[in-house]
Amino acid sequence: MLRRTLLTLFLFAGALCPASGPQLVSAVDSIGLTVSDLDRSVDFYTSVLSFQKVSEFEADGPELEHLQGVFGLRLRTARLRLGDEFIELT
């Protein structure tokens, strides 16, 4: 959610800046999406849309719990690639 909000702000900022002004954003590393079932979503993106799974990791701990405001939080994230573009499914 935070990633999508930041991306939206960056895109709007770029659209509102005059063309002759300084370039604030030169690239976007990846787009993050929150999904309800990581395994099912990875299967869809890799089988139907031809993405390749690059990595998968799990994160937990008190820092993440405080950042998200959820006690006992554990996140799984998969990074997928299609050509030169990446998405992260959480």
Over residues 36-66, the pLDDT tens digits come to 999 999 999 999 999 999 999 998 899 988 9
Q: Over 60: is that where the pLDDT of 1 sits?
A: no
Q: What pTM, to 2 d.p., does this model score?
A: 0.67
Band (pLDDT 50/70/90 cuts) for residue 18 is: low
Least confident of 13-17, 50-54, 68-72: 13-17
| Amino acid (one-letter) located at 62 | P
Band (pLDDT 50/70/90 cuts) for residue 80 is: very high
- The closest alpha carbon to 78, from 67, 62, 90, belongs to 90
Extended strands (E) in 1-90: 31-33, 52-60, 74-82, 85-89
Q: Residue 77 in contact with residue 88, Cβ under 8 Å?
A: yes
What integer best gives the mean pLDDT of the chain?
83
Q: Over 60: is that where the pLDDT of 32 sits?
A: yes
